[in-house]
Amino acid sequence: MKCDMPLNNLKVQGCQVGNKDLQYLTDIFQYNKATVIINSDNNEIDDNVVKHFAYVLRNNPVSIVWIGDSSIYDMSYIYHPESSENRIGDIGAQHFREALPINKTLMEVTLKDNESSLCATVQMEHEIMHESICITVDWTGYQIRNEKLECLSAALKKNYITTRLILDENQIDDNGIQLLADGLLKNKILQELSLRNNRIGDKGMKYIANVLRENMTLNTLNLSKSSIGNDEVKHLADVLKDNVTLITLILSNNLIGDDGAKHLVESIQNNTKLITLNLENNRIGDGGTQKIATALNINTTLCKISLNGNGTYLCVVVGVLYQQRRGNMPTSLNFSKHCIKDEQVLILTQSLTDNKSLIELDISSNQIGKNGVQHLANVLENNIASLIILVFA
């Protein structure tokens, strides 16, 4: 290696390599300019050796290093430094933090599972700033706290390549959302943001709504499993009235009831951009579902709506019927034992008017009265020439 022989991959993973051993390697890296990948996972590397690696990073532009669960900190000719599962502490992490901005060729750094939480921050900073690898940034379950969100926010202001940012399952609260929103307001490239399973409250939703109001590139937003209720969703609904970029909105597994559904209906009724709306597993009842159905008769661009798992069978009816907008015309529909009453039959018949493929319809064991039967008869007479089987018992 000292003679600069081309070496593409050096792996010392789990070899109980300690400080002195790694120091020998770092001395050699000063001469060998061809090392591409160095994997030193699961060793006994601490802050002292990281200092030597940091020196190498500043002066060696074509290497890659993995130092997970160790303590390595300075690489500059290294493309992929991995040092997860070592013993790198705050001092070592800081060495990396200072060296990485100098190294312009290092493409990937892995510092996970070290002693210092700063290691994850340093890795995040490098990922978000490295334009070659950051089209998608996925930090699911990283337990991101405000310090890291400050770094992320600053990076987002300068980032021109990341289009997908996934921050699921991080327990981000309203203060964290504020930090994130600050960066997103200056970002002109991000298209997809996922904040599933965080702790978003009323203030947090206001910050997110403000991002939607100002950001002209975000087209997909995932806020599922975030304890969002009627009050929180109102902030979102207020913005959707005028938003012209959002295509997909995921609000599943939240606490949205009829009032929240009403707020959403008022906003999407004239929205011509939103195509997919996921409201599965909320608390929407008959009242909210009927308002959604009415809005869908006006809004012709919303092609996919998911309502399963709410507090009424009517959600299932509406969800299935509006699959037709995607060109998926069902030939058989079974709504038996769905507690359908006359008012639900009206929604059903309105949705069936354009279906020319339906062969079998089962609406048995419901609570349909005289008016409901009349609505159904009118549709069957004028629109559904293909129907062969009708189960009404």
Distance of CA 228 to the CA centre of its chain: 16
Rounded CA-CA distance 237/242 in Å is 10
- 188: three-class secondary structure by DSSP: coil
Placement of tokens 């009927």 in the chain: 290
pLDDT in tens, 77-97: 344 445 544 556 778 778 777
Per-residue pLDDT of the chain (393 residues; tens, 9 = 90+): 444 445 444 454 444 455 555 565 666 555 555 443 444 444 445 556 566 566 666 555 544 444 444 433 333 334 444 554 455 677 877 877 777 777 666 667 777 667 777 777 777 777 766 654 568 888 888 778 787 888 888 888 887 788 999 999 999 999 999 999 999 999 989 999 999 999 999 999 999 999 999 999 999 999 999 999 999 999 999 999 899 999 999 999 999 999 999 999 999 888 889 999 999 999 999 899 989 988 887 888 888 888 888 978 788 778 776 766 666 666 777 878 777 888 778 777 776 776 777 788 888 888 889 898 888 888 877 766 667 777 776
Which secondary-structure segment (H or E) carries 249?
strand 248-250
Tokens of 9: 């991959």
| Residues 6 or more apart whose Cβ sits within 8 Å of residue 378 | 349
This model's pTM is above 0.75: no
Asked whether 75 and 81 are in contact (CB, 8 A), the reply is yes
Tell me the DSSP string of 60-128: --S--EE-EEE----BSS-SEEE-EEEE--HHHHHHHHHHTTT-SS----B-TT-S-THHHHHHHHHHH
Tell me what pLDDT residue 25 has. 62
Phi first, then psi, for residue 324 (nearest 5°) are -60, -25
pLDDT in tens, 117-151: 777 777 777 776 665 456 888 888 877 878 788 88
Structure tokens at 353: 């008017």
Only one residue has tokens 């502490």, namely: 89
For residues 105 and 79, the answer to whether their CB atoms sit within 8 Å is yes
Q: Which of 55, 56, 49 is nearest to 72 (CA)?
A: 49
Please name which of 335, 356, 345 lies closest in space to residue 378, comparing C-alpha atoms: 345
Q: 198, 167 in Cβ contact below 8 A? A: yes
